[in-house]
């Protein structure tokens, strides 16, 4: 049964530029599994999708500020992200934490305890930021990157020793650099980390989005991350 469309002409999405394959900017064009999943949702409602990129920190508040209808950036609705007026959809994917390292370092850098005196890059405000601060040795240094590509470049050239991100992203990055990068320190958060979308609590989109997720979340791993509007249909 077709879901009744809310009173929207477009689905305005707040996304982040540097979480491939979840969301990223390809020369200004929005790509990613979250984007394609929401394209399929928008199509069901007969809507066009418009994506605007924001910095990651507090991106879940952008819909509340009237800057988007939905925030989509591989977001986990942890307690510290709960803001008055923001609602979270039901979850659509479960993720674990991980570190991307140079392939030759995998024998010596296997868990966070091995990073004493090393440098780890993360995105400010991300789950990797929280997880690394909580688990790293006192002598480990943290640096912040706004672009995934910059962190990968610095990792390959030896300026940092690891890039912290979710396993869906780390395996994607390692696959793009076979034999040069690898994934280590894969582990769950103490509270299970599940991706969800952020919307205003009074949004008419919340109920149909939750229905769409319940029907299609099991297919999220299959969603391509670089298709066009007509390539992927649920």
The residue with tokens 């819909």 is: 63
The pTM is what? 0.86
pLDDT given at position 73? 94
Residues of the chain scoring pLDDT < 70: 1-8, 228-234
Q: Determine how many CB atoms are found less than 10 A away from the CB of residue 42.
A: 23
Maximum Cα interatomic distance, the chain, rounded to a whole number of Å? 57
Half-sphere exposure of 145 (CA within 13 A, CB side): 23
pLDDT given at position 1? 45
pLDDT given at position 230? 54
- 16 sits in the region (left: phi over 0; alpha: psi -120 to 50; else beta) called beta
Helices 148-156 and 167-176: crossing angle in degrees, nearest 10, is 50
- In the chain, the domains with their CATH numbers are 11-94+191-222 (3.40.190.10), 97-187 (3.40.190.10)
Among 185, 191, 119, CA closest to 157: 119
Dihedral sign for Cα 81, 82, 87, 89, please: positive
Inter-residue contact 140 to 119 (CB < 8 Å): yes
């Amino acid at each position: 049964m077709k879901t009744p469309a809310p009173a929207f002409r477009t689905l305005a999405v707040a996304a982040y530029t540097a979480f491939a394959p979840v969301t990223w900017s390809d020369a200004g064009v929005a790509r990613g599994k979250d984007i394609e999943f929401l394209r399929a949702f928008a199509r069901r409602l007969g809507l066009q999708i418009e994506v605007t990129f924001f910095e990651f920190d507090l991106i879940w508040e952008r819909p509340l500020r009237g800057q988007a209808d939905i925030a989509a950036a591989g977001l986990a609705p942890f307690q510290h992200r709960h803001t008055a007026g923001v609602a979270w959809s039901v979850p659509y994917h479960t993720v674990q934490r991980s570190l991307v390292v140079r392939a030759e370092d995998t024998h010596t850098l296997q868990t966070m305890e091995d990073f004493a005196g090393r440098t780890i890059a993360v995105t400010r405000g991300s789950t990797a930021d929280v997880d690394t601060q909580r688990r790293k040795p006192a002598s480990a240094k943290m640096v912040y990157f706004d672009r995934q590509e910059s962190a990968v470049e610095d990792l390959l050239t030896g300026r940092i020793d690891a890039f912290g991100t979710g396993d869906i992203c780390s395996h994607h990055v390692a696959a793009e650099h076979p034999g040069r990068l690898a994934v280590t320190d894969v582990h769950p958060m103490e509270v299970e980390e599940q991706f969800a979308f952020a919307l205003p609590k009074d949004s008419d989109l919340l109920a149909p989005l939750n229905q769409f997720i319940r029907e299609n979340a099991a297919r999220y791993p299959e969603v391509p991350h670089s298709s066009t509007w007509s390539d992927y249909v649920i």
